[in-house]
Amino acid sequence: MPAPERSEPELAGPVTAGPVTAGPVTAGPVTAGPVMGPVMAGPATPEAEAAGREVVLEVESLVRHFPVKGGLLRRRRGAVQAVDGVSFALGRGETLGVVGESGCGKSTLARTIVGLDTPTSGSVRYRGTDVHAASGRELRALRRRVQIVLQDPYTSLNPRKTVRELLMQPFEIHRDVLPRDRRLGRIKELVELVGLDPDHLDRHPFQFSGGQRQRIGIARALALEPEVVVCDEPVSALDVSVQAQVVNLLRRLQRELGLSYVFIAHDLSVVRHISDRVAVMYLGKIVELGARSEVYDRPRHPYTRALLEAVPIPEPRGRDERTRTLLAGDPPSPVDPPSGCRFRTRCPKAQDVCAVTEPALRAEPPLQTEPALRAEPPLQTGPALRAEPPPEGEAESAVTSPAATEAACHFPDHRPLARLGA
Ligand SMILES: Nc1ncnc2c1ncn2[C@@H]1O[C@H](COP(=O)(O)OP(=O)(O)OP(=O)(O)O)[C@@H](O)[C@H]1O
Ligand code: SF4
Ligand SMILES: [Mg+2]
């Protein structure tokens, strides 16, 4: 019989809004008020802090394509463009939320960041060191400092091992971190840190509840004292009532240990609660990235807007009578994504020009890399809305006329992509 879940101090109850579904949503009249309300109490992290932080992780133009082979000779027929040119920086003590529909590349991004997958191109740098170019001692140090928490605590923990054995593993791989005679003491500290009973070290994972199992997964990720933790849907497999406890635990650990999180989830309520900034992914690309309040209260991309509008408002707050953007059908195949803007096949505002030009992220205030030591080069923005040449046969005026491009684009200040460190 699993012990009851331990509450974190700021726990305010279960997460109330459910996961975002991407299916068609019905139209209806608008009601005033924010699309999503806060779901859990607790001190909010000021968005203002997101800018000007010391950079711990830089992801630049990251691409991960999986080859698709076919035919008798198993020749390459194409590629699943799981992650296709993702860039962002993560500040010290910051949480960057990543949201998007199933299959948009969130887990591939997570695995590539921590070095479990190899990028096709682009780079991931932890405090300036390329995660994928490192070897030897440098790589071992990196592996310690950048850890991952996986979605499913049922499958991510070996059921044959006890908690003691599961938590001892990281120290057996990284033997130099802690002398053998101090490891048990450290494991007990870790278990207490995540709110479990140190007397239960000899239990197996199946003797714990889902939330407790995820606490074990978190303790294991923290064993080697990481600075960056990539959380890939860490609460999605948990009961709604337990989600808030695990999210609050992650927040407390962040405050106490100075952790930086990349927090991936498809539940927009959870992401809103924990994130300083939010990145919205669609078909392998980040389509919008900004401070939490910007993205949630003033979404700019039609896809972000549709995601937010798809979240149901709980009954006690009144009937849900918003006008909603229709997000019809499934996302296109990542093997053959649409030209130009990848969202154009589902975008209610799409025009011809969207087939040839891709909207880009708004430039963000730069994070600092080692303040006072190395100044971050300013974010670059290119000339305003540079359209790619149109394919043969397409009307040139649709692309080159400023009026046409402005009218075609949903962004009020649509600018070319700001590249970090460019
Ligand atoms: N090893 C692989 N080989 C081939 N294709 C892959 C591989 N891993 C992922 N993919 C494909 O890459 C795309 C992105 O997958 P990924 O698991 O990263 O999405 P996701 O956003 O995490 O989805 P979910 O929300 O369902 O977890 C999908 O089309 C998936 O089928
Ligand atoms: S208006 Fe065009 S560019 Fe903007 S999201 Fe829609 S399809 Fe993409
Ligand atoms: Mg995933």
In ligand 2, the atom with minimum distance to the C-alpha of 302 is 5
In ligand 2, the atom with minimum distance to the C-alpha of 359 is 3
Q: What is the pLDDT of residue 403?
A: 32
Read off the pLDDT of residues 229-267 as tens digits, 9 standing for 90 and up: 999 999 988 888 889 989 999 999 999 999 999 999 988
Q: Give the ligand whose atoms come closest to the C-alpha of residue 414.
A: 2
Read off the pLDDT of residues 217-236 as tens digits, 9 standing for 90 and up: 999 999 999 999 999 999 98
pLDDT (average), residues 378-403: 34
Q: What is the pLDDT of residue 74?
A: 80
What burial class does residue 161 get, using C-beta atoms within 10 Å of its C-beta: 0-12 exposed, 13-18 middle, 19+ buried?
middle
pLDDT (average), residues 101-105: 94
Q: What is the pLDDT of residue 338?
A: 95
Q: Tell how far the Cα of 136 is from the centroid of ligand 1, in angstroms.
A: 30
Beta-carbon count within 10 A of 32 CB:
5
Q: Tell how far the Cα of 350 is from the centroid of ligand 2, in angstroms.
A: 5
228, part of any domain: yes
| Pocket mutation for ligand 1, best pick of 107, 111, 342 (most atoms within 8 Å of C-beta) | 107
**Which residue CA neighbors atom 4 of ligand 1 most closely?**
66
Q: What is the pLDDT of residue 288?
A: 93
Q: What is the pLDDT of residue 422?
A: 30
Ligand 1 environment, Cβ below 6 A: 66, 80, 82, 100, 102-108, 266, 334
- Residue whose pair of structure tokens reads 């006072």 in the numeric block: 372
Q: What is the pLDDT of residue 15?
A: 36
How would residue 6 be classed by pLDDT, with cut points 50, 70 and 90? low
Q: Report the chain's mean pLDDT, rounded to a whole number.
A: 77
d(CA 420, CA 279): 15
Residue 192, pLDDT > 90, answer yes
Structural domain span for residue 224: 47-329
In ligand 2, the atom with minimum distance to the C-alpha of 408 is 1
Percent of the chain's residues with pLDDT above 90? 54
281, part of any domain: yes
Range scoring the smallest mean pLDDT among 89-93, 317-321, 326-330, 359-363: 317-321
Q: How far is CA 113 from the centre of its chain?
A: 11
How would residue 406 be classed by pLDDT, with cut points 50, 70 and 90? very low
Q: How many domains does the chain have?
A: 1
pLDDT (average), residues 68-76: 82
| Pocket mutation for ligand 1, best pick of 64, 108, 280 (most atoms within 8 Å of C-beta) | 108
Range scoring the smallest mean pLDDT among 166-175, 214-223, 406-415: 406-415
User: The domain that contains 132 carries what CATH number?
Assistant: 3.40.50.300
Q: Give the ligand whose atoms come closest to the C-alpha of residue 104.
A: 1
Read off the pLDDT of residues 9-51 as tens digits, 9 standing for 90 and up: 443 443 333 333 333 333 333 223 222 222 222 333 333 344 5
Q: Helix axis angle, 210-222 relative to 163-173, nearest 10°?
A: 20
Q: Taking a C-beta distance cutoff of 8 angstroms, is the pair 253, 265 a contact?
A: no
Q: Taking a C-beta distance cutoff of 8 angstroms, is the pair 262, 226 a contact?
A: no
Q: Taking a C-beta distance cutoff of 8 angstroms, is the pair 17, 269 a contact?
A: yes
Q: What is the pLDDT of residue 419?
A: 34
Q: What is the pLDDT of residue 17?
A: 35
68, part of any domain: yes
Q: Helix axis angle, 180-193 relative to 210-222, nearest 10°?
A: 140
257, part of any domain: yes
Q: Tell how far the Cα of 103 is from the centroid of ligand 3, in angstroms.
A: 7
How would residue 70 be classed by pLDDT, with cut points 50, 70 and 90? confident
Q: What is the pLDDT of residue 323?
A: 61
Q: Name the token pair of 409.
A: 């684009």
Q: What is the 3-state secondary structure (H, E, C) of the chain?
A: CCCCCCCCCCCCCCCCCCCCCCCCCCCCCCCCCCCCCCCCCCCCCCHHHHCCCEEEEEEEEEEEEEEEEECCCCEEEEEEEEEEEEEEEEECCCEEEEECCCCCCHHHHHHHHHCCCCCCEEEEEECCEECCCCCHHHHHHHHHHEEEECCCCCCCCCCCCCHHHHHHHHHHHCCCCCCHHHHHHHHHHHHHHCCCCHHHCCCCHHHCCHHHHHHHHHHHHHCCCCCEEEEECCCCCCCHHHHHHHHHHHHHHHHHHCCEEEEECCCHHHHHHHCCEEEEEECCEEEEEEEHHHHHHCCCCHHHHHHHHCCCCCHHHCCCCCCCCCCCCCCCCCCCCCCCCCCCCCCCCCCHHHHCCCCCCCCCCCCECCCCCCCCCCCECCCCCCCCCCCCCCCCHHHHCHHHHHHHCCCCCCCCCCECCC
Q: What is the pLDDT of residue 392?
A: 41
d(CA 187, CA 144): 16
Q: Taking a C-beta distance cutoff of 8 angstroms, is the pair 25, 309 a contact?
A: yes
- Residue whose pair of structure tokens reads 């980040």 in the numeric block: 286
60, part of any domain: yes
Residue 331, pLDDT > 70, answer yes
| Pocket mutation for ligand 1, best pick of 65, 66, 101, 262 (most atoms within 8 Å of C-beta) | 66
Q: Helix axis angle, 180-193 relative to 163-173, nearest 10°?
A: 130
Q: What is the pLDDT of residue 314?
A: 64
Q: Give the ligand whose atoms come closest to the C-alpha of residue 350.
A: 2
366, part of any domain: no
Q: Tell how far the Cα of 109 is from the centroid of ligand 3, in angstroms.
A: 9
- Looking at per-residue pLDDT, the higher value among 197 and 392 belongs to 197
Q: What is the pLDDT of residue 152?
A: 76
295, part of any domain: yes
Q: Give the ligand whose atoms come closest to the C-alpha of residue 347.
A: 2
354, part of any domain: no
**Which residue CA neighbors atom 2 of ligand 1 most closely?**
66
Q: Taking a C-beta distance cutoff of 8 angstroms, is the pair 57, 263 a contact?
A: no
